[in-house]
Amino acid sequence: MRKIQMVDLKGQYEGIKDQVNTAFKEVIENTAFINGPEVQQFQKDLEDYLQVKNVIPCANGTDALQIAMMGLGLKPGDEVITADFTFAATVEVIALLQLTPVLVDVEPDSFNIDPDAIKKAITPKTKAIVPVHLFGQAANMDAIMQIAEEHNLYVIEDNAQAIGGNYHSKSGKTLKTGAIGHIGATSFFPSKNLGCYGDGGAIFTNDDQLAHTIRGIVNHGMYERYHHDVVGVNSRLDSLQAAVLRAKLPKLDIYNEARKKAANLYNAAFQDELHIETPHRIGDCDTHVYHQYTLKIKNGKRDALAKHLQEKGIPFGIYYPIPLHQQKAYVDSRYNEADFPVTNKLVQEVLSLPMHTELDNEQIDYITGTIKEFLNT
């Protein structure tokens, strides 16, 4: 059996080696390392793929979120509602911009922000909602967009974990996650479903004016060379990363299918397990591109199972072990533990198994067999 890895970037590289090596060589020979033609071409390729009018590449997914909030003109003191159960980048940028993060609980099945909790958290100061399509499953965007419309709020989708996901809206339309709200942000961190070989990110919007504003912000607030109209940042996707992404984008759907196939094998193996709840696919939002394959291990058995996996050399992740409202950087007297029953329970139950495009049946059999044997003895 091949060595089991949480993420197998080497195996994936083997399949696109020639393309990536040739593209890298071209960038190096052209020496257009910053804003070279690959960056513009990738931007267009991604606009076509996502069916979105504007893609603005940037340096990483955290910047993408920050720049999205800057582009919307959010001001210190504005409240931004987001999920308590997510990677810290989402809340970090809210705090960095001196906006007020308002963390709310998530749904027990999808792990995504709970629309009812959003409604309860809205105040006159609320300006935006940031749903995160966690682990590759779309948040309930129909409900979120409706709340946003009723209260005149912006929706910034954190699509870092769900690129390529389809969302089947109640309107009958199938939309790409990240291209549904007013603005979307993504990460091309190497382990993401569409990852480069370093850091990278992008912002998406169908609003041309907003796109124009953001193109200046990513480039030191310049709309004309050396004229700095707004305070900006320096956040660029470099040409080598764009070259990798151009090679990988045409394969994104195939990669996501490979993840789904692995997830289905896991699901089938665990279907009768008393102590395991497999990832749910939620009604109309039947998208899941399995950035992570995350189980709930019930009846207090998660930590013992984690220890056993470690002993057996099977990699796993606990995403995330601490609710954001309990993290030192984000504690706030406004929060009440009783408002986070789902997140507080999830952090004790979740366990993510190896998930990538190169998993084979033998590896999955070994992982599922080891887990089942442990839980049933």
Ligand X SMILES: Cc1ncc(COP(=O)(O)O)c(C=O)c1O
Least separation in angstroms between CB 46 and ligand X: 15
DSSP 201-227: EEEEES-HHHHHHHHHHTBTTEEETTE
Binds ligand X (CB under 6 A): choice among 135, 189, 255, 335 = 189
Locate 198 and state its tokens. Answer: 């370093």
Binds ligand X (CB under 6 A): choice among 20, 38, 57, 61 = 61
158 bridge partner residues:
132, 185
Evaluate whether 291 touches 355 at the Cβ level (below 8 Å): yes
Tell me phi and psi for residue 184, to 5 degrees: -125, 155
137 forms part of the interface with ligand X (CB under 6 A): no
Helix (H) or strand (E) holding 102: strand 100-104
Sign of torsion, CA 196 201 207 209? negative
62 forms part of the interface with ligand X (CB under 6 A): yes
Evaluate whether 110 touches 135 at the Cβ level (below 8 Å): no
Task: Note if 192 is an active site residue.
Answer: yes
Q: Which is nearer to ligand X, 85 or 270 (CB)?
A: 85
Binds ligand X (CB under 6 A): choice among 60, 256, 287, 292 = 60
89 forms part of the interface with ligand X (CB under 6 A): yes
90 forms part of the interface with ligand X (CB under 6 A): yes
Least separation in angstroms between CB 162 and ligand X: 9
Query: How far separated are the first and last CA of the chain, in Å rounded?
Result: 25
255 forms part of the interface with ligand X (CB under 6 A): no
> Which range touches ligand X (CB under 6 A), out of 3-11, 158-166, 243-251, 358-366?
158-166
Catalytic residue among 127, 192, 248, 296: 192
Cα 269 to Cα 257, 306, 365, distances in angstroms: 18, 18, 8
87 forms part of the interface with ligand X (CB under 6 A): yes
Binds ligand X (CB under 6 A): choice among 132, 243, 346, 375 = 132
- List of residues contacting ligand X (CB under 6 A): 60-62, 86-87, 89-90, 132, 158, 160-161, 187, 189, 199, 201
Which residues have a catalytic role annotated? 192
